Amino acid sequence: MASSVLFTQATANDTTSDPLFVTPTTRKTFSTRNLTPAGTIFYVKVLKKAPHNAIRLHRCSVPCNTAVTVKIWEPDSYKSGDELSWRVDQAGTYYFWNQDRSKKAAVVATSDQYLDGKLQITFKSGAILEVWYTKP
């Protein structure tokens, strides 16, 4: 990977409200703050697609300085209006990032806000995603 993607590892499982958030320092990843149980389903609604953007889901190793790729939605596998989802089969710390395949780099989030309990993120590429999850 040409650019560095920084993220933090959650340290405790929390069954209370745990909204997704954009990593404040780099604005290149978005995740929950706590461990995610097996059976959790992550959702990504593509409000606006940007060319060359792959949406990537990863699970942190312990410690979280390396990660395992869980799912990649390649740019040609989705379109604006699609709702993508993935059920995780292992407990862990999961995070997403939006990759510009043409530049081989993470796309920075320029803004984010909560609307109806879902995190809406606008990226420098022009992509707009709405993300949320449900626990088992």
Within-domain flag for 32 = yes
How many other CB atoms are there within 10 angstroms of residue 27's CB atom? 18
Within-domain flag for 10 = no
- Distance CA(81)–CA(121), nearest Å, equals 15
The CATH number of whichever domain residue 76 belongs to comes to: 2.60.120
pLDDT value at residue 88: 96
Proportion of the chain above pLDDT 90, given as a percent: 74
Within-domain flag for 14 = no
Q: How confident is the model at residue 17 (pLDDT cuts 50, 70, 90)?
A: low
- Domain of 72 in residue numbering reads as 21-134
Within-domain flag for 45 = yes
Within-domain flag for 111 = yes
DSSP 57-124: EEEE-SSTTSEEEEEEE-GGG--TT-EEEEE-SS-B-EEEEEEETTTTEEPPEEEEEEETTEEEEEET
Checking if the pLDDT of 46 tops 90, the result is yes
* Arithmetic mean of pLDDT, 24-31: 92
Round the CA-based radius of gyration of the chain to a whole number and report it: 14
Proportion of the chain above pLDDT 70, given as a percent: 87
How many structural domains are present in the chain?
A: 1
Of 121, 105, 124, the residue nearest 113 (C-alpha): 121
Q: Which helix (H) or strand (E) covers residue 33, if one does?
A: none
Within-domain flag for 4 = no
Of 128, 130, 131, 121, the residue nearest 50 (C-alpha): 128
pLDDT value at residue 33: 83
Within-domain flag for 86 = yes
61-118 pLDDT per residue, tens: 887 788 999 999 999 999 999 999 999 999 999 999 999 999 999 999 999 999 888 9
CB 88 within 8 A of CB 9: no
Within-domain flag for 72 = yes
Does the pTM exceed 0.75? yes
Of 69, 94, 97, the residue nearest 13 (C-alpha): 94
Q: How confident is the model at residue 19 (pLDDT cuts 50, 70, 90)?
A: confident
- In one-letter notation, the amino acid at residue 22 is V
